Structure 1
Amino acid sequence: MSEPALAPRNAFIGVFVVWAVAFLASIAVGIFVPEEWRVSWMLVVFGGLVLLSFAVQLWYGSTRGFIFRVACSVTGALVLTGLIATGFGLAALIPA
């Protein structure tokens, strides 16, 4: 019989890590990818973030709240990439 951990790790640190990676990856795509390929690369980034979300939560090793943490990670990543992509899309409409 195993004893419960006295001070378990915070389960939501993984959620914040995925959000931070979503922010940085979206900004990197917006800066380094040409305008005609941006949407495609944003989709690739989001797919990678979904996989990262599962990997981070599986690494945590707790079944309690797994679906909720993955849903929070993926939803936050979707909102962040969507807002950043919208910002770069609106910026592309401004004539240079």
Structure 2
Amino acid sequence: MAVPELAPRRTLGGVIAVWVVAALIAVAVGIFTPVDLRAAWLGVGLGGCLLAAFAIQLWSGRSQGFTERVAASVLGATVVMGVISLGFGLAAIVPG
């Protein structure tokens, strides 16, 4: 017999926290790395987001939906980093 949780914790905050970390990493990579090394460092940053997603979701202490929350965190981080890197890529080809 499973005992229901009396006050379940919110899990959306952990997912959004990983997205914010991804945005900060992508901006830092876009500013501080040379153009030819950005793709490699974005991959390293995405790996860091994966580790952050695991850590945040393990810290929340809920086992129900763990895989879905980690997947949503990493997928969202990928989209956020992709959009920001697209912006930096377009800025790099515009003359000025």
Shift of 1:30: 0.6
Give 1:3-82 correspondences, 5 Å limit.
5-82=5-82
Paired letter, 1:50: L
| Separation (CA, whole Å) in 2 of partners of 1:16 and 1:56 | 11
Moved over 3 A (4+): 3-6
**In 2, distance between residues paired with 1:6 and 1:29?**
43
User: Deviation at 1:85?
Assistant: 0.8
Structure 2: runs of 5+ lacking an equivalent: none
The TM-score with structure 2 as length reference comes to: 0.89
In the alignment, the residues of structure 2 paired with residue 42 and residue 95 of structure 1 have an alpha-carbon distance, to the nearest angstrom, of 24
Q: Which runs of 5+ in 1 are unaligned?
A: none
Identity over aligned pairs, percent:
52
Whole-angstrom distance in 1 between the partners of 2:41 and 2:27: 11
Match of 1:34, as an amino acid?
Answer: P
Number of corresponding residues? 94
Offset of 1:47 from its aligned partner?
0.7
**Once the two structures are superposed, what CA deviation does each residue of 1:32-73 show, in whole Å capped at 9, x if it has no partner?**
111111111111000110111111111111110111101110
**Normalised by the size of structure 1, how large is the TM-score?**
0.89
Matched residues in 1 for 2:68 and 2:8: separation?
18
RMSD over aligned Cα atoms: 1.4
